[in-house]
């Protein structure tokens, strides 16, 4: 009786070991099958603002450059806008001054007068000074057109930013889907098949 009890006590418990291994395998499977989710704790989410008016942003930038950008809270664009206006303003003043100097010198030399300007010792003909004046006049006109262009771009930029704030959201819901599809062939295609295989790219946000 004692021998049989000892034999039973020393018999290894294969059932317990098997159950432990099974539970360990199940834990590994559950860990390996868990999908990876990126940490978006610090991600900034933008939601559309239906009260933000693109029309107001456009009109304000048309009245005063940069006002629409302030309305859109895009303050970093102000130095760019006014930096462009500053450079173009310098170009306008410089070309205007040079035009007046060259045209005055050209008229004096054409009429046979005595020059007292900065080019009084120059051996250039009056036609050379007329050509230089024409070049500065052209540069002056281009600088003025540049001011108009920067003003217009400033208005368009304010409108687009306001439209983005008003109508669209930017968050972590951006999706990209790629799927096969069939495309209609042009009527002038050499191949007579009605459809050709292709790839469709779909963006969702």
Residue 178 lies in a domain: no
Report the pLDDT value the prediction gives residue 22, as an integer from 0 to 100.
56
Size of the chain in residues: 205
Kindly write down the DSSP assignment for every residue of 151-166, as one continuous string: HHHHHHHHHHHHHHHH
DSSP code of 129?
A: H
Residue 79 lies in a domain: yes
Residue 82 lies in a domain: yes
121: domain range?
A: 54-167
Residue 20 lies in a domain: no
Contact between 167 and 48 (Cβ < 8 Å): yes
CA distance 76 to 54: 19
Report the pLDDT value the prediction gives residue 2, as an integer from 0 to 100.
43
Report the pLDDT value the prediction gives residue 93, as an integer from 0 to 100.
97
Report the pLDDT value the prediction gives residue 173, as an integer from 0 to 100.
58
Report the pLDDT value the prediction gives residue 194, as an integer from 0 to 100.
63
Residue 198 lies in a domain: no
- The conformational region for residue 177 under phi > 0 = left, psi -120 to 50 = alpha, else beta, is beta
- pLDDT over 60 (residue 170): no
Q: What is the mean pLDDT of residues 64-69?
A: 95
- pLDDT over 90 (residue 84): yes
The tally of domains found in the chain comes to 1
Residue 83 lies in a domain: yes
Cα angle value 95/98/65 (rounded, 5°): 20
- The conformational region for residue 21 under phi > 0 = left, psi -120 to 50 = alpha, else beta, is alpha
Report the pLDDT value the prediction gives residue 114, as an integer from 0 to 100.
83
What does pTM read for this prediction?
0.58
- pLDDT over 80 (residue 18): no
Report the pLDDT value the prediction gives residue 1, as an integer from 0 to 100.
43
Task: Provide the 10 A C-beta neighbour count for residue 23.
Answer: 10
**3-class state of residue 20 by DSSP:** helix
169 backbone dihedrals φ, ψ, rounded to 5°: -120, 150
Residue 36 lies in a domain: no
- Largest pairwise CA distance in the chain: 145
Please report, for residues 12, 70, 150, the alpha-carbon distance to residue 15 in angstroms, rounded to integers and kept in the order given.
Answer: 9, 74, 82
Model confidence pLDDT, tens digit, residues 94-117: 999 999 999 999 999 888 888 888
Report the pLDDT value the prediction gives residue 8, as an integer from 0 to 100.
47
Give the position of tokens 């900065």.
Answer: 118
- pLDDT over 90 (residue 174): no
Residue 49 lies in a domain: no
- pLDDT over 50 (residue 7): no
Considering 20-29, 30-39, 77-86, the range whose residues carry the highest mean pLDDT is 77-86
Report the pLDDT value the prediction gives residue 152, as an integer from 0 to 100.
95
56, containing H or E segment: helix 54-63
Q: What is the mean pLDDT of residues 15-43?
A: 51
Report the pLDDT value the prediction gives residue 106, as an integer from 0 to 100.
92
């Amino acid at each position: 009786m004692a021998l049989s009890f000892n034999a039973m006590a020393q018999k290894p418990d294969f059932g317990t070991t098997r159950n432990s291994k099974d539970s360990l395998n199940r834990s590994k499977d559950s860990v390996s099958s868990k999908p990876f989710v990126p940490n978006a704790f610090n991600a900034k989410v933008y939601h559309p603002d239906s009260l933000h008016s693109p029309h107001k942003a456009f009109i304000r930038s048309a009245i005063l450059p940069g006002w629409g950008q302030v309305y859109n809270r895009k303050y970093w664009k102000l130095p760019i806008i006014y930096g462009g206006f500053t450079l173009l303003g310098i170009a306008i003043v410089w070309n205007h001054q040079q035009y007046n100097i060259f045209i005055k010198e050209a008229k004096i030399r054409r009429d046979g007068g005595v020059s007292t300007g900065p080019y009084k010792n120059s051996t250039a003909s009056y036609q050379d000074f007329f050509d230089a004046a024409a070049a500065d006049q052209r540069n002056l006109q281009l600088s003025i057109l540049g001011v108009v262009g920067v003003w217009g771009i400033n208005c368009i930029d304010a409108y687009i930013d306001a439209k983005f704030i008003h109508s669209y959201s930017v968050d972590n819901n951006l999706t990209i889907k790629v799927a096969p599809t069939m495309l209609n062939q042009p009527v002038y295609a050499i191949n007579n098949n009605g459809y050709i295989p292709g790839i469709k790219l779909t963006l969702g946000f």
